[in-house]
């Protein structure tokens, strides 16, 4: 894929986007907690949202906007309060925030999307929100994309931001992105239409049809955010939005054009990078683990098996201690609900053989420990039952994760 990484790239790297990140006062720490992304030109939008039935007010609001609106101009994001499980009041507050931002930007309320992240079950403090929206609108700048990455964080330890450039149809097109999320991470995002939270925002100056943007995002989900899990919990607020304003001036891309595959590949790279960064910065994480399952009867069986392993508390605690207790991996595969022959299993830690044909491969335990006693490693499980394959990115389970989530409110 021929693209160039942009140093200090962000959501304002693509042409025609401005942004801000300010302190509204939602966080007791005084850290930045409100962000605004703005395109003066209309932008088409593709979105994917949480599969959780208990979804937050901003998720419901944005779903309705995307179902009925062709273009948007802005995304407003607050951290420190999730506006989830807040009933009708929460829905009204989300609309009020969008209307306030729209008035300041001289656009229609339905041209503003909203997101929230933070504590669940607490109504938004609307006086604080409205003052913060004014501050965010006043601070808009075309070089403030990194401020967005700061302002959307909750238990994250560092901001995540990226931008790349790619040549399409003789024009240089940019894609910029930012994301947050450290716990309650197992997104299971669903396209719309065809506590801690995963939020991700991508901007691009590409000219592309709505159908092609939806297709590019949809095809990228399983190789990015839908393959990550920190703790197996799917949040009430998970949101992924991609805005394209066409400012690059390329010939409009549709699915029939050769440039579509190149754009889709570039978007997949940005989303994959952001997804991996979320796992690497997960709450208390000390190890990044790639669980790669092959030889299943179908890709869906491989996914089901990989997710069972990746979300197993016993596997995750073993990885934390660099304990090569591979019996836990086989146990999780066995209860995952898929069909396979245990006598055909091969298992590897990286390049180190652990099991062959359903039995111990004879590798010394010290070699197994060395293979997983590192910041990043791979668990490769071949079920020997078919051609299905899937990869999940996950992590260990540490004392620090328990501490963070034991006193999240107090």
Using an 8 Å Cβ cutoff, are 244 and 288 in contact? no
Q: What secondary structure does DSSP assign to 50-109, as a single string?
A: ---SS--HHHHHHHHHHHH-S-EEEEEEEEEE---S-HHHHHHHHHHHHHHHHHHHTS-G
The helix (run of H) or strand (run of E) holding residue 305 is: helix 299-310
Q: How far is CA 120 from the centre of its chain?
A: 19
234 is catalytic: no
3-state secondary structure of 31: coil
Angle at alpha carbon of residue 56, lines to 161 and 233, rounded to 5°: 70
Task: Judge contact between 296 and 384, C-beta under 8 A.
Answer: no
In angstroms, rounded to a whole number, what is the distance separating the alpha carbons of residues 71 and 69?
6
Question: 194 in helix, strand or coil?
Answer: coil
Among 197, 203, 236, 294, the active-site one is 197
Q: Where in the sequence numbering do the catalytic residues fall?
A: 197
């Amino acid at each position: 894929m021929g693209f160039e990484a942009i140093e200090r790239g962000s959501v304002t790297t693509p042409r025609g986007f401005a942004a801000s990140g300010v302190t509204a006062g939602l966080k007791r720490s005084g850290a930045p907690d409100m962000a605004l992304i703005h395109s003066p030109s209309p932008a088409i939008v593709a979105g994917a949202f949480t599969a959780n039935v208990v979804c937050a007010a901003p998720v419901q609001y944005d779903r309705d906007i995307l179902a009925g609106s062709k273009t948007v101009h802005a995304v407003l994001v607050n951290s420190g309060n999730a506006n989830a499980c807040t009933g009708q009041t929460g829905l009204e507050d989300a609309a009020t925030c969008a209307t306030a931002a729209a008035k300041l930007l001289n656009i229609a309320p339905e041209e503003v999307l909203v997101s929230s992240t933070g504590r669940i079950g607490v109504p938004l403090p609307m006086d604080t929100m409205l003052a913060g929206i004014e501050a965010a609108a006043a601070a808009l700048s075309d070089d403030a994309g990194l401020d967005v990455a700061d302002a959307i964080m909750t238990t994250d330890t560092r901001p995540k931001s990226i931008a790349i450039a790619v040549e399409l149809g003789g024009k240089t097109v940019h894609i910029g992105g930012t994301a947050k999320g450290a716990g309650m991470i197992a997104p299971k995002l669903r396209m719309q239409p065809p506590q801690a939270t995963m939020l991700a925002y991508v901007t691009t100056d590409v000219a592309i049809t709505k159908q092609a943007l939806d297709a590019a995002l949809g095809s990228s989900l399983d190789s990015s955010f839908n393959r990550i899990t920190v703790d197996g919990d799917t949040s009430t607020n998970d949101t992924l939005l991609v805005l394209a304003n066409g400012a690059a001036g390329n010939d409009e891309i549709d699915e029939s054009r050769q440039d579509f595959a190149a754009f889709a590949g570039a978007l997949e790279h940005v989303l994959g990078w952001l997804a991996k960064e979320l796992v690497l910065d997960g709450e208390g994480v000390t190890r990044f683990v790639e669980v790669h399952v092959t030889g299943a009867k179908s890709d869906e069986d491989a996914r089901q098996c990989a997710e069972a392993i990746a979300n197993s508390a016993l596997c995750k605690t073993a990885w934390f201690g660099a304990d090569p207790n591979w019996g836990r991996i086989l146990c999780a595969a066995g209860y995952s609900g898929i069909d396979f022959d245990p006598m055909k299993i091969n298992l590897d830690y990286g390049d180190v053989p652990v099991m062959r044909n359903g039995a111990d491969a004879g590798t010394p335990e010290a070699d197994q420990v060395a293979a997983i006693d590192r910041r990043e490693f791979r668990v490769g499980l071949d079920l020997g039952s078919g051609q299905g394959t899937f990869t999940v990115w996950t992590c260990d389970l540490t004392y620090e994760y328990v501490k963070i989530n034991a006193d999240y409110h107090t």
